[in-house]
């Protein structure tokens, strides 16, 4: 019975400690941190816009290259000679 009570106390303490730590309120981020987060969001948006612009450029260059190639001539069929 002694082992069972020790085990239950250990389990109780193991569950209470995380709950007590989770109940503490985290301090709100300061103004500099918020400004830095906003700056990083803007940089990510700029990066995505540049990637889209580059993608449009690559697609248009690919279409121009495809249109500038001369069409392939049809393969020449060899006539069979009668024997």
Cα torsion through 37, 41, 44, 49, rounded to 10: -160
Whole-model pTM: value is: 0.41
Average pLDDT over residues 23-47: 88
The tens digit of pLDDT for each residue in 70-79 reads 666 666 677 7
- State the pLDDT at residue 8: 73
pLDDT-based confidence at residue 45 (cuts at 50, 70, 90): very high
- Please check the confidence at residue 36 and state whether its pLDDT lies above 70: yes
**Average of per-residue pLDDT values in the chain:** 77
In the block, tokens 């024997």 appear at 83
Q: What are phi and psi of 70, to 5 degrees?
A: -70, 145
């Amino acid at each position: 019975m002694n082992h069972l009570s020790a085990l239950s106390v250990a389990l109780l303490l193991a569950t209470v400690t995380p709950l007590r730590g989770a109940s503490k309120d985290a301090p709100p981020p300061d103004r500099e941190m918020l400004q830095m987060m906003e700056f990083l969001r803007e940089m990510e948006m700029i990066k995505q816009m540049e990637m889209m612009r580059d993608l449009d450029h690559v697609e248009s260059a690919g279409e121009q290259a495809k249109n500038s190639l001369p069409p392939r001539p049809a393969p020449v069929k060899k006539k069979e000679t009668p024997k």
